[in-house]
Amino acid sequence: MPTEHADRAAIERAQDVLYDEGTKLRQEVFGPQYISQSKSLPDFLQPVQTMAVTAGWSLCWSRPGLDRKTRSMLCLAMLAVMGHEKELAVHVRGAISNGCSQEEIRETAVYGGVPCAARATRIAWDALQEVDDGDALQKQIQE
């Protein structure tokens, strides 16, 4: 049975609210530059991006039960195990903004085994260097 037009409009409004809330949360974690890059993706990629923001960020990351720091550490461990290196580097930066220390970030890597830990700590180290370089650049700009 097809969805009524009024029902579809209500669903789209709800999705818009979830997308906006997910985008705000993502911006708090990753910063405005990351959001701008995501919005500039080709039209073909936008539906998956929208789903990730709506489901992943609005529905999952805003749930009660875990704080952002814990969610970040879980993401780091899972991304390392799955071998998603680009996403791991992005989430290392997010983990810093969510209050994770460098030691905590390094410790998440061991839960996927030693080969995974070696690769993940290298990715984390590179991402942390970029964070440090960005902080130094930001200080220079402000001076």
- pLDDT at position 140: 44
One domain for residues 84 and 16: no
Give the separation between CA 56 and CA 30, rounded to whole angstroms: 14
Regarding predicted confidence, which is higher, 117 or 100?
100
If one compares 131 and 14, the residue with the highest pLDDT of the two is 14
Looking at the domain assignment, is residue 54 inside a domain? yes
Burial of 95 (0-12, 13-18, 19+ CB in 10 A): buried
2 inside domain: no
Q: Which of 34-38, 54-58, 80-84, 88-92 shows the lowest mean pLDDT across its residues? A: 34-38
Band (pLDDT 50/70/90 cuts) for residue 114 is confident
| Residue 80, in any domain of the structure | yes
* Domain match, 135 and 70 both: yes
Domains of the chain: total: 2
